[in-house]
Homo-oligomer: A and B are copies of this chain.
Amino acid sequence: MPNRIFIIHRSEVIRKGLTAMLASFEKREIIPCASMDEFADTYETSVSTEPILVEAKVANRIKHLRFIVIDAINPVSKNTLQLSIHTSTAELQEKLKRLEAELPDEADKQEDFNTLTDRETDVLRLVAYGYSNKDIADKLFISIHTVISHRKNITEKLSIKSISGLTVYAILNNLIDSDNIDISELI
């Protein structure tokens, strides 16, 4: 259960309205933001305000936090509510509860602090390169079962399920950066 709820909207009316609607919503810290930049600053992520990048960064750097972004048109992440401006307090709180029920709970979060092992990093890099589990198994000279095991652990540790999310994570962590490629290893 997240302890912080961010409200991101340019309109002050909307921000204050939603803050009021959520005031009675259990005990959370409600944080209104006028822009994506302000939201990103609060997370101390300065490089980009792109939601999927923010998500990858949060998984990477601020592992003990979960976040919810409220959105009507642009998709942001799996953890996103689609609401209209006519939403009632009851509907809003009820949907938030349903969304949160799908999030990993506090107990799981402790495990999120783990960083990836060497082998998991190997697998993640190859996933980001676009290889299938079978391909990865062949490249690392291990069975496909082992690859699947590593991928389960990666998904659990990072809380990133999609291949595209893992790809962004890999890019952000220089797993597939040119600086890491030793040209002398070619051929």
On A, residues with C-beta under 8 Å from B are 8-11, 14, 18, 35-36, 48-53, 69-78, 83, 85, 125-131, 139, 161-168, 171, 176-178, 181-187
**A83 contacts which chain B residues (CB < 8 A)?**
187
* 30 chain-A/chain-B pairs, Cβ below 8 angstroms: A8-B183, A8-B186, A10-B183, A11-B184, A36-B181, A36-B183, A48-B178, A49-B181, A50-B178, A50-B181, A51-B178, A52-B128, A52-B129, A52-B130, A70-B187, A71-B187, A72-B185, A72-B186, A72-B187, A74-B181, A74-B182, A74-B186, A75-B125, A76-B129, A128-B164, A129-B162, A129-B164, A163-B163, A164-B164, A167-B167
Answer whether A14 and B187 are a contact pair too, CB < 8 Å, given A50-B176, A163-B164, A167-B167. Answer: yes
CB distance from A164 to the nearest CB of B (A): 4
Whole-angstrom distance between the alpha carbons of A83 and B51 in the complex?
Answer: 41
- How many copies of the shown chain assemble into the complex? 2
CB distance from A166 to the nearest CB of B (A): 7
CB distance from A73 to the nearest CB of B (A): 4
In the complex, besides A9-B186, A50-B177, A51-B181, 15 extra interface pairs with C-beta distance below 8 angstroms are A8-B186, A36-B181, A50-B176, A71-B186, A72-B187, A74-B182, A75-B125, A129-B162, A130-B161, A130-B164, A130-B165, A163-B163, A164-B164, A167-B167, A171-B171
Whole-angstrom distance between the alpha carbons of A35 and B178 in the complex?
Answer: 11
**A161 contacts which chain B residues (CB < 8 A)?**
130
**A70 contacts which chain B residues (CB < 8 A)?**
186-187
